[in-house]
């Protein structure tokens, strides 16, 4: 009998149910599908001749394996970039023939993400699933968390953190829960516009880097979110600077040619046509147009639908053990989170210029595509963080430009 464990999770998790073949997307397409070692061995022992042929052709040992319980094997996608084990109705033929026990831990768990912090488990949903994205971003309510005891079943751990470990005794990681909770509190402060919340989050974590670990709790208790927000004032010229900077990033990543996601490539082509930048002179010449587009989009879509972006941030923070999501330096986690948001907004505004309109449904669809294509790219984060550090952009002045 499986043992129940303590799980803390966002209340939206209770609403999620996979819609299977009815889904207009599939989680079995467009990215690597990992197979744990136990399941890999099961697959190569099946006696069904039809399935045996597909398995031997498509499922191989992963030469880049990092954890045998996670990615010992890998499923090679077919020409349509789909899992070869899907049937004509987009259902998993492995599950259909042999039952749920034959799903790898990744396939059985997705889009649920599981971490362990100290003695309890934390679970939330990955927004790269469109049904999960609709639930997370579609609700205008703040994300709240609850606790219960549940059986985990077959699972893969995304992250494990024991804040009580002696190695963290004199580090901010010891106070991870307090720091993360306060970060969520900042992002859910609806008295502030969204850019102000992001600014305050950066200021909070930037200052926290210099605080002695034994004074972190005191610093948090005295930090005044709304007073600090008054020191931030948006500079419209930063929008034009963002267009130039982020356009160069999109070009350097060669998303149009290198990204596996057909949808993101399509969006990228539309966005680049919308901005219509051939060289840096175009940014200077068209800066008023870009600034007006950003300001109009921010007022009409971002602020009026700030719950979408708030819930994106809160879900990311909880999902990725933020602010230690990139390294032991909290500001690294912040600057990459801010970069993600700025890149999302760059795309949304570019699409808006191209199409002349937008909608809540289209925003949610795009964010889901972005999460699936960009955030799950294993090289993406390291390349961007390396670029930011090489150019000394890991500071609040650069953060203000991205806001």
Is residue 7, in this structure, part of any structural domain at all? no
Residues 336 and 388 in one domain: yes
Task: Give me the pLDDT at residue 1, please.
Answer: 45
The residue from 229, 252, 270 where one domain ends is 229
Is residue 348, in this structure, part of any structural domain at all? yes
Residues 84 and 202 in one domain: no
Q: Which domain holds residue 65?
A: 17-109
State whether the Cα torsion 247-291-388-328 is positive or negative.
negative
Tokens of 229: 């927000």
Residues 100 and 178 in one domain: no
- The structure's pTM equals 0.89
Number of domains in the chain: 3
Is residue 51, in this structure, part of any structural domain at all? yes
Long-range interactions of 286-291: CB distance < 8 A, separation 24+: 287/237, 287/240, 290/239, 290/240, 290/243, 291/236, 291/237, 291/239, 291/240
CA–chain centroid gap for 286, Å, is 32
Residues 217 and 278 in one domain: no
Residues 192 and 262 in one domain: no
Is residue 290, in this structure, part of any structural domain at all? yes
Residues 259 and 287 in one domain: yes
8 Å CB contact between 362 and 267: no
Task: Give the residue carrying structure tokens 């749920």.
Answer: 100
Is residue 153, in this structure, part of any structural domain at all? no
Contacts of 388 (CB under 8 A, 6+ apart): 335, 336, 339, 394, 398
Is residue 124, in this structure, part of any structural domain at all? no
Residues of the chain with pLDDT under 50: 1
Residues 24 and 61 in one domain: yes
The residue from 84, 109, 134 where one domain ends is 109
Task: Give me the pLDDT at residue 68, please.
Answer: 82
Is residue 199, in this structure, part of any structural domain at all? yes
Residues 268 and 355 in one domain: yes
CA distance 379 to 362: 27
8 Å CB contact between 219 and 205: no
CA distance 297 to 304: 10
Residues 259 and 358 in one domain: yes
8 Å CB contact between 307 and 139: yes
CA distance 226 to 190: 10
The residue from 77, 109, 141 where one domain ends is 109
Residues 367 and 290 in one domain: yes
Residues 203 and 260 in one domain: no
Task: Give the residue carrying structure tokens 């006696």.
Answer: 47
Question: Quick check: helix, strand or coil at residue 148?
Answer: strand
CA distance 136 to 371: 13
8 Å CB contact between 39 and 103: yes
Residues 289 and 335 in one domain: yes
Alpha helices in 72-109 (DSSP H): 93-98, 105-109
Is residue 132, in this structure, part of any structural domain at all? no
């Amino acid at each position: 009998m499986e043992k129940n464990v303590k799980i803390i999770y966002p209340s939206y998790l209770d609403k999620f149910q996979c819609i299977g073949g009815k889904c207009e997307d599939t989680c079995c397409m467009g990215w690597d599908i990992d197979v744990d070692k136990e399941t890999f061995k099961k697959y190569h022992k099946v006696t069904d001749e039809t399935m045996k042929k597909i398995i031997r052709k498509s499922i191989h040992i992963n030469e880049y394996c990092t954890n045998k319980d996670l990615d010992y094997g890998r499923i090679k996608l077919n020409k349509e970039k789909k899992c070869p084990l899907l049937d004509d109705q987009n259902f998993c033929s492995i599950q259909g023939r042999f039952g749920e026990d034959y799903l790898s831990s990744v396939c059985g768990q997705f889009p649920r993400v599981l971490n362990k912090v100290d003695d309890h488990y934390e679970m939330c949903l990955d927004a790269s699933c469109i049904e999960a994205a609709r639930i997370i971003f579609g609700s205008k309510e703040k994300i709240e968390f609850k606790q219960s005891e549940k059986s985990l079943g077959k699972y893969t751990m995304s992250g494990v953190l024991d804040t009580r470990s002696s190695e963290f005794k004199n580090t901010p990681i010891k106070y991870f829960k307090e720091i993360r909770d306060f970060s969520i509190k900042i992002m859910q402060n609806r008295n502030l516009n969204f850019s102000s919340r992001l600014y305050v989050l950066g200021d909070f974590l930037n200052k926290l880097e210099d605080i002695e670990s034994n004074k972190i709790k005191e610093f948090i208790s005295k930090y005044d979110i709304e007073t600090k927000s008054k020191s931030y004032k948006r500079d419209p010229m930063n929008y034009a600077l963002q267009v130039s900077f982020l356009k160069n990033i999109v070009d350097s990543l060669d998303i149009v040619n290198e990204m596996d996601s057909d949808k993101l490539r399509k969006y990228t082509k539309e966005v680049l046509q919308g901005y219509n930048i051939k060289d840096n002179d175009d940014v200077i010449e068209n800066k008023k147009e870009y600034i007006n587009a950003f300001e109009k989009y921010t007022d009409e879509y971002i602020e009026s639908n700030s719950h979408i972006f708030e819930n994106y941030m809160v879900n990311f923070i909880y999902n990725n053990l933020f602010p230690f999501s990139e390294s032991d330096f909290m500001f690294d986690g912040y600057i990459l989170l801010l970069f993600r948001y700025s890149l999302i907004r760059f795309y949304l505004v570019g699409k808006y210029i191209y199409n002349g309109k937008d909608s809540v449904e289209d925003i949610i669809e795009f964010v889901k595509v972005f999460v699936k294509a960009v955030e799950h790219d294993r090289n993406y984060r390291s390349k961007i963080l390396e670029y930011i550090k090489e150019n000394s952009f890991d500071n609040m002045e650069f953060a203000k430009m991205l806001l």
